[in-house]
Structure 1
Amino acid sequence: MDLEAIPGVGAKTAERLAALDDAERALTDGDVAALARAPGITEGQAARIARGAIRERHGDTSRFLRTDRARELYDDALALLQERAVTDYAKRRVETFYPSASADRIEEVRAFVTEAMARDADPTVVEALSGVAPLADPGGLRVRERCLATSEAETYARAERAFPELSVELVEDTQDLAELARGYATVVALDESFAGLDLPGDVRVVPDPEARVDEVLPERLLAFFAENRARLLAAADAHEAADLDAPCDLDALRDGLDRLDADGTVKGDAELGRLQDAAADVDAAVSTGESVANDRLREVIQARDVTIEGADLLSLVEQGARVDTLLDRELADEFDEAVAAAREHVVDALRLDDHADLAEGVFRDDPHFPVERDEAAVSRLQSELDAARDRRAARLKADLASDLNALRDPVEALVSAALELDVELAVARFARDFECVLPTFEGRGVDLEGGRSPLLDVEFAEVDPVDYRVEGVALLSGVNSGGKTSTIDLVGLTVVLAQMGLPVPAERVRLERFDALHYQAKSQGTLDAGAFESTLREFGGLVTDEGNRLVLVDELESITEPGASAKIIAGILESLDEQGATAVFVSHLAGEIREATGFDVQVDGIEAVGLVDGELQVNRSPVKGRLARSTPELIVEKLATAEDDAFYDRLLGKFAE
């Protein structure tokens, strides 16, 4: 795939995407999470790139949303979907849905939506999804108790690139290798020439480390599972709650995660726990052992009467003897018993089941007081326990990594499926919340039955349904606050959703597949000369455009004087009619425009049925072929009916002229 052919992807972005393991699949599937793993690519950028890739795949180069108001309707539609998504991924993923003129793209989304609408957004599923997120790659991993060793410069460079978590050492011969083995719990030799040699310590020969990563560096895989534990468990729960077929054995996954601690170490192994405790407690155990020996000796010395004849004392003094000599001569057995007790304490305290011999040298055999540790022997004991602990941990890590390795790819699919489920449920909840149906693409224009806008500032259940059919060019008239703007908003939103491939909030919808949507929102007051000219230029470009377009315009007459506005709008309608466009112009000047138009323009009306307690009562569905009465006419009619006054009758008669 030519990455730079994707709209919005330049050379630098293409280079970043190329760093992904499978950029083409991610682009084809619209996998925003995978694309966001590319260096320097945010989730927002990933959504735009995915959308561009979809456009490129379908040859969808046209711009459907031609005005700011049209784009606002699209943003509103996206927001309604995103509000019903649980995960950040799904909120971004729905951004890959966009209104398109491509029949293939629309049908692609409709196929997805058809399956999604059959989903049940059970609260248990939604709760489980709240903990799901794209899998993260842990960073900053460093393993210090193991190193790689090689005598070849090329192998050294390759190992440094492949295993940045480990130290890589250059060695010349087996002597260098043996020296390394004294400083590391495990040395992994990468040269075949070292195979079969008898070396001290834990030295392994692995000539092809890249093919045996889980053996050489099990911490990498374990760190991945530890980092993503919560996400994986949530995804497993979501699969079970939604009764989805999982791509892996969920019990095996949970068992593996139960054996893994938050820092990527293996938990639950008694022997490793013993060695960890022993290595951590060496100094404390030896110090207590010293106290045990010295307390016993002190008690013995205090209770013992020692008689030394003068000649012996003189001889000892002449020889420079100290109390140690007296201990050796008078209390040798007691000293041996005290040291034995000290050693026994160290063995018991550290539970040195298979390292008891190392405790023998911790206290010297020659009588002396106070009894003190042999620092070299203590250091050897510490080093041996550290190495035994690290070797045990490495074996356990390798075993667990071997078990989890088979789950590495399936858990990617597990989380991906859970995230896509959230996208489906967002669509399903949208469809149910707003009682949506999939529209039918046939015929001309838009035919809407029982449509209700979810964009109004009232509860959706309280929205009055609207029936409206538009074919060709029409003027929409009606009283103030009667729902003219909300009606064309509903028409625009219906077309946007339909051409995104999504369901629409109505009982039934039939429409043609449009090439573009132009929606000119209501202007805020009369425009100055420059702004007025700019607006006319926009409409000049609109009427010379090609393709079947839907044009929605809200009270264009507000841009200038009413008389001139009616003539301008009439001219625009004539051009759109000649091109066979579908258009709805909302206007309070519908009668004047109709008179100025050179063809029999359709005028529809949102009728007010009367005033009740000062409140306007309106039939929200436009009536075809009827110019709606204004609010002032209704008020005058009410007064003429209620009051016996010729003045009101005269005013009412003016409306009929």
Structure 2
Amino acid sequence: MEFESIPGVGEKTAKSLSKLDGAERALAAGDVATLARAPGLTEGRAAAIARGAIRRRHDDDGGFLATDRAREVYRDVLALLRDRTVTTYAAKRLETFFPTASASRIEEVREFAETAVERDPDADVLAALDGVEPLESASGIRVRERCLATADAERYAAAKDAFPELSVEVVEDARGLSELARSYATVVALDEAFAGVDVEGDVRVRPDAAEHPDEIVPERVLAFFAQNRARIHAAADVHEVASLDAPCDLDSLRDALSRLDDDGTIVGDDELDRLVNAVDDADAAASTAESVANDHLRDAIRERDVTIEGTDFLSLVEQGARVDSLLSRELEDQYADAVATARDHLVESLSLRPEEADIATRVFTDDPSFPVGYDEEMLARLRTELKTGRDRRAVRLKRELAADLSDLRDPVNEMVTDALELDVELAVSRFARDFDCAFPAFVADGSDAESADDDGDGFRIDGGRSPLLDVPFDAVDPVDYGVSGVTLLSGVNSGGKTSTLDLVALVVVLAHMGLPVPAERVELERFSELHYYAKSQGTLDAGAFESTLRDFRELVDGETNRLVLVDELESITEPGASAKIIAGILEALDDQATTAVFVSHLADEIREAATFGVAVDGIEAVGLADGELVVNRSPVKDHLARSTPELIVEKLAGEDASGFYDRLLEKF
């Protein structure tokens, strides 16, 4: 794939994507978690790239949301969905869902959503999701007890790039390898020429090292699993609680993880623990053994009857007198016992094997001396032998565990991604349940259903309730409304005209995202664009007025089968001029295959100014109760709604017999 062909992807980002395994699959699936593992990409940037790739695949130009208010409604929809996610991944992943005119994209998301709404957003599942995050690549790994060796300059450069975790050394012959083997626990020779060379130490000839990086640097795999341990455990828990089919055996996975510490070291191996402790405790054990030997010898001297009194003997020793001959002559057995005690203590305290104990016995010499001391050089040799044994065992165990975990890496990636995608599905399910949603039916020019409205196109909403209102959703009155062609919507102030437009926009945005809508039943055509113009805040000055007219000039020359929603356009200028301008705009829209709803208090004036029969619907107030309007929220077709002043005058006329209010009422 040419990554730079994706909208918003430049040369640098394309290069990052080229380094990512499975980039094309991730782009096709909208897999934000995988894309975010590309060098330098955040989840937010990954979501934008996935969105661009989806648009390209479905030939979507991104122009469905044609106005600021339409884009605000989409952002409100996303906010409602994101509020129902647990993971930050799911919140970002939802940004790959967008309203579009592309039938293929709408159907693609709808198939996803139809599966999603069947998911049960169980509280235990949501709790398990709380610990799931996209897996991170391990970094900053440095291995000091192992090196690579080669005599070839090109191979040296390639090894430096392929294995930044290891030192790469240049050697000329077997002697050079031998020297390296004395400094490193393991030397990996990259040249075939070194095969069969007999060198003391752990030297491995691996010309194929670059093809098996996990065997050469098992720390890579271990660091990855150690760093992501909590996330992997959380994803495994999600699969169990949600009864998802896991891509690997979870018990085997947990067993493998239990052998790995948080810093990537091996745990649970008794022999390795013994060697680690022996290395750490060698100095302290030697010092303690030395004290044990001297205490033993002091006691023997005090109790021994020799030519000179024991107390005098000790006094001489403390004055630095030579006592080796005295020890050899008078206390040979006691000195041998003291040294044997020291050796036994050192071997036992470090839990040394027989081959290691041979070196330990030489830490304390047979030559008589007092105080008894240990040989620093031999102790260093013992420590070196223990370190070498520790490092070799650790490497072997790392290789074994890395081999097990390497086989699990792809399944684990899949498992975590599936858990994260479950959160996306559950967000859609929770949205559908919270707002009593149903899937809309798209009609093609009225041929796929009885009608969206009387003329068979536009939209028809039954029992729609907007979750965007500042009241509890259960308290929202359901609205039935359908429009085909160009329509004026009249109604009393605060009767719900703007809320009705918001509901229509919300339903249309969700439907064109492929998602369920908050209504009992919805039918609509597949619109090419949504133009929603919010109410202007006061009369516009000349420049702003001219700019607004230019917007509508472009509108009437644009795509066909659009949905246009306009809220009180008359507020942009004087009422008389507004009615004429709106009538002209409606005439132009009527010449196109456009569905339009214009909210206006000038419905009568606009209808008179128009050259065609403009449909007028009304949100009717049925009366006043305790000073508050009682409103039927569902617009009445072909009905000009009465104004609030008319209702108030009518109420007063019924309460007063003077005739004054009756005469006023006749003016309406």
TM-score (norm 2): 0.95
The equivalent residue for 1:517 is: 530
What percentage of residue pairs aligned between the two structures are identical? 69
Map of 2:67 onto structure 1:
67
Question: In 2, distance between residues paired with 1:308 and 1:246?
Answer: 83
Show the counterpart of 1:465.
Answer: 478
Please show how residues 138-153 of structure 1 align to structure 2 within 5 Å.
138-153=138-153
* One-letter identity of the residue aligned with 1:378: L
The aligned counterpart of 2:449 is none
**How far apart in 1 are the matches of 2:637 and 2:523?**
17
Worse-matched range after superposition: 112-121 or 66-75: 112-121
1:133-282 → structure 2 map (5 Å cutoff):
133-282=133-282
Pairing of 1:82-481 with structure 2 (within 5 A): 82-307=82-307, 322-354=322-354, 355-442=356-443, 443=446, 444-481=457-494
Contact 2:529 2:559 in 1 (8 A): no
Kept in 2: contact 1:477–1:603 (CA 8 A): yes
TM-fit CA distance, 1:302: 2.8
Corresponding position: 1:636 with 2:649: yes
1:186 Cα shift? 1.4
Residue 598 of structure 1 is matched in structure 2 by 611
| Partner of residue 452, structure 2 | none
Q: How does 1:493-572 map to 2 (within 5 A)?
A: 493-572=506-585
- Which one is further off, 532-541 or 5-14? 5-14
1:609 is paired with a residue of what secondary structure? strand
Distance 1:198 1:3 in 2: 51
Write the distance in 2 (CA, Å) between the matches of 1:480 and 1:260.
68
Q: For 2:3 and 2:219, how far apart are their aligned partners in 1?
A: 34
Which whole-Å CA distance do the structure 2 matches of 1:109 and 1:304 have between them? 96
Note closer, same or farther for the CA distance 1:592–1:209 as it changes in structure 2 (3 Å cut): same
Name the amino acid aligned to 2:358. Answer: D
Structure 2 distance, partners of 1:585, 1:283, is 89
* Cα pair distance change 1:321/1:490, threshold 3 Å: closer
SS in 2 for 1:40: coil
- Counterpart of 1:620? 633
1:211 Cα offset (Å): 2.5
With normalisation by structure 1, the TM-score equals 0.96
Contact (CA 8 Å) 2:464, 2:520: kept in 1 or not? yes
Q: Is the 8 A contact 1:478 1:607 kept in 2?
A: yes
40-49 or 489-498, which deviates more: 40-49
Question: Segments of 4+ in structure 1 off by > 6 A?
Answer: none
Distance 1:197 1:40, change over 3 A: same
Q: What is the one-letter code of the residue matched to 2:597?
A: V
Identify if the C-alpha distance between structure 1 residues 369 and 280 changes in structure 2 by more than 3 Å, giving closer, same or farther: same
Equivalent position SS for 2:212: helix
Task: Give the secondary-structure state (helix, strand or coil) at the position aligned to 1:407.
Answer: helix
SS of equivalent to 1:139: coil
1:435: how far off? 0.8
RMSD of aligned alpha carbons: 1.6
Kindly state the Cα deviation for residue 119 of structure 1 after the two structures are TM-superposed: 1.2
- Post-superposition CA distance 1:262-309 (Å, at most 9, x none): 111111111111111111100110000110111122222233343269
SS in 1 for 2:188: strand
Instruction: Tell which deviates more after alignment, 446-455 or 241-250.
Output: 241-250
Question: What SS does the corresponding residue of 1:61 show, helix, strand or coil?
Answer: coil
Q: Alpha-carbon deviation of 1:649?
A: 1.4
**Paired residue secondary structure (1:406):** helix
The residue type equivalent to 1:501 in the other structure is G
Counterpart secondary structure, 1:329: helix
The amino acid that maps onto 1:45 is R
Match of 1:530, SS? helix
- Counterpart code for 2:172: E
Post-superposition offset of 1:62? 5.0
More displaced, 148-157 or 132-141?
A: 148-157
Measure the CA separation in 2 of the matches of 1:333 and 1:151: 57
| 1:211-231 deviation line (CA, Å, top 9, x unaligned) | 332322111111111111111
CA distance in 2, matches of 1:621, 1:607: 8
2:530 counterpart SS class: strand
* 2:505 maps to 1:484: no
Deviation by residue 1:542-577 (Cα, 9 ceiling, x = unmatched): 111122110000011111111111111111111111
Q: Deviations over 1:471-529 (max 9, x none)?
A: 00011111111100000111111111111111111000000001101111001111111
Q: Any gaps of 5 or more consecutive residues in structure 2?
A: 447-456
Contact 1:478-1:605 at 8 Å conserved across structures = yes
Q: Is the 8 A contact 2:66 2:529 kept in 1?
A: yes
Q: Report the Cα offset of residue 397 of structure 1.
A: 1.2
**What letter corresponds to residue 416 of structure 1 in structure 2?**
T
Q: How far is 1:457 from its partner?
A: 0.7
Equivalent-residue separation in structure 2 for 1:175 and 1:225 (angstroms): 38
Contact kept, 8 Å, 2:55 with 2:62, in 1: the verdict is no
- CA distance 1:101–1:296, shift in 2 (3 Å): same
Q: Distance in 1 between matches of 2:122 and 2:385?
A: 56
Cα distance between partner residues in 2 of 1:392 and 1:22: 35
Q: Tell whether the 8 Å contact from 1:62 to 1:101 is kept in structure 2 after alignment.
A: no
| Structure 1 CA distance for aligned equivalents of residues 330 and 280 of structure 2 | 38
